[in-house]
Amino acid sequence: MKRIKTLLINTVILTGISLLMRTIGMSFSVYLSRTLGSAAIGLYELIMSVYALAVAFASSGVRLSTTRLIVDCSSREQASQKRIMRVCMTYSLLLGSAAGCALFGGAGLIARRWLQEPASTFALRLLSISLPFLSASSCLNGYFIAVRKAGRFSGTQLLEQLIRIGITLYGLKLLLPRGREYATVALVAGSCCAEALSTLISYAIYRREIRSAGGSDVPPRLLRKLLSIAVPDAVGSWVRSSLVTAKQLLIPRGLRMTGSSSEGALSIYGTIQGMVLPVITFPSALLGAISSLLVPEVAEARALGQQTRIKYMVSRVMHMTLIFSIGTAAALFCFSSELGQAIYKNAQVSLYIRLLAPVIPIMYLDMCVDGVLKGLGLQLSSMKYNIIDAAVSLSLVWFLIPALGIWGYIATIFVSEVLNFVLSVNKLLSVSEVRMSVVKSALKPLLSAAVAAYLAITLHRFCGALIPSMLFFFAAYALMLFALRCMTSADLRWFRGIFR
């Protein structure tokens, strides 16, 4: 019970900070979309897709290997945490520096050939400076997750968000009149400065924390153990990120082949990537926190041979994730028009939110499944599934978007999410021996969401207010869940018992 309480408290802290960060981030995204326009947002998203590839090389396997090694150290008392962190930090800085040099040297070629926007060279070179800091930050994040003190790291992420916004606003004031290419420079400059400052603050917190770490023995073949965890995750991340980046770069190209201008293609791409997907993924802050925290919990249970505890955690998390995601999907589907107008004042955003809402349960559940697989030491399987997913998505983008335009991109998102989900959850259920009730975890929540949606839409027609109608929807949904025994009083007693 003490371990569950620790997990829950950390989840609450991470969720609260994550929700606050996403609220701030979405508000800032709305401001940017209205200030810069969707075409500039599209260019920024393309630059960040290249940056994501560099990040994959800079930090692949760093967080996971640090978490796993620290958990093994804590549970088996094999080694000093300080020694482990010294090795992990050296590994992360070498990776980050190598990736930064590669991006800096290749920025001109990437801007001309890949992005077809030569003016974005300077923005890419600015981003390369942040890669060593980002890699070190991943290492520190892995440590704080392993010792169940992730809330401290999340506080620095919140500070990073605020610093990034402040610097970006000042940069936009100076550079925006010169054009969208200069506006993207302001955006990436804010990210670089904020990343560096937050990493330094996290390191200071770690230095205070590590003083109390005990043990002086060094586990045998520490570097080999680190590489055995990090390399499979890294190789998979490199391959997958390469495929994903290629896919993202091909999307505007495919849209241009349908007859759209370069400006129009960037605008459509920016609408989906920079405006719609943030709304779709915003409620997943809770699941992101749970997914991160499940890695050390499941890894420890696996190390101690506690199969029953693993089955309990996996079944409860999957059940609650499905309930949460089905309700979220129904709410976004029903109120997509109102949300699109309220947030962005854009009818296209409303349409795409409604189209993508049905994939939310699959998308959210896949987040938690991925965390559990890594905790079970199945990062090779996770890597394989992610590569298959990315390769199929790239093929679909290549063939579907030139033929179907934006509808081909929507179809690609659906196929990608379903494919990854089916492969991952099938593997998890086979190794954890968890058996889910389709009726209790899926069909009854769907029925509850349908009834709640009908009642909420009826209320909305009379009052016309978005927030009260959505609150009424979730209240009606919760009541239906209890009425159909998807959730019971035993769940509430278990929840209250955690805090005793």
In a domain, 37, yes or no: yes
The answer as to whether 408 is a domain residue is yes
Mapped onto helix, strand or coil, the DSSP state of residue 179 is coil
pLDDT at 76: 46
Report d(CA 287, CA 293) in Å as an integer: 10
Please tell me the distance from the alpha carbon of residue 330 to that of residue 31, in angstroms, as a whole number: 27
The DSSP-derived string for 165-200 is HHHHHHHHHHHGGG-HHHHHHHHHHHHHHHHHHHHH
Specify if 75 maps to a domain.
Answer: yes
pLDDT confidence of residue 499: 44
Residue 67: is it exposed, middle or buried by C-beta count within 10 angstroms (0-12/13-18/19+)? buried
Place of tokens 């600015």: 126
- Is residue 118 assigned to a domain? yes
Closest C-alpha to 66, from 137, 146, 133, 131: 146
Query: From residue 327, how far is each of 53, 421, 472 by CA, in Å?
Result: 33, 19, 12
Does the pLDDT at position 113 exceed 90?
Answer: no
Q: Which residue has the higher pLDDT, 16 or 329?
A: 329
55 assigned to some structural domain: yes
Inter-residue contact 163 to 198 (CB < 8 Å): yes
Please write the tens of the pLDDT for every residue from 396-409: 989 888 888 888 88
Establish if 454 belongs to a structural domain. no
Please check whether residue 374 is in contact with residue 64, taking contact to mean a CB–CB distance below 8 angstroms. Answer: yes
Contact 47, 245 (CB under 8 A): no
Residue 259's identity, in one-letter code, is G
150 within a domain of the structure (yes/no): yes
Tell me which residue range forms the domain holding 228.
2-436
**Per-residue pLDDT for 218 more than 60?**
no
- Find the mean pLDDT for residues 225-230: 76
pLDDT of residue 42: 79
- With cut-offs at 50, 70 and 90, classify the pLDDT of residue 64: confident
Backbone phi, psi, residue 12, to 5°: -60, -45
Task: Establish if 254 belongs to a structural domain.
Answer: yes
* Type of residue found at 73: C
**Tens of pLDDT along 287-342?**
666 666 666 667 677 777 777 777 777 777 788 888 889 999 999 999 988 888 88
How do residues 435-493 score in pLDDT, each as one tens digit? 777 788 888 999 999 999 999 998 888 887 888 888 899 999 999 988 888 877 766 66
Nearest to 166, CA basis, from 129, 210, 197, 211: 197
Handedness of CA 491, 492, 493, 495 (dihedral sign): positive
**pLDDT of 99 higher than 80:** yes
Q: Among positive and negative, which fits the CA dihedral 22, 26, 31, 35? A: positive
Residue 98 has pLDDT above 50, yes or no: yes
Tell me the DSSP string of 92-114: HHHHHHHHHHHHHHHHHHIIIII
Place of tokens 């190789």: 235
Q: How far is CA 320 from CA 140, 299, 314, 424, 436, in A?
A: 29, 21, 10, 18, 11
Residues 6+ apart with CB under 8 A from 457: 334, 469
What kind and span of H or E run contains 435?
none
Number of domains in the chain: 1
**In angstroms, rounded to a whole number, what is the distance separating the alpha carbons of residues 93 and 39?**
35
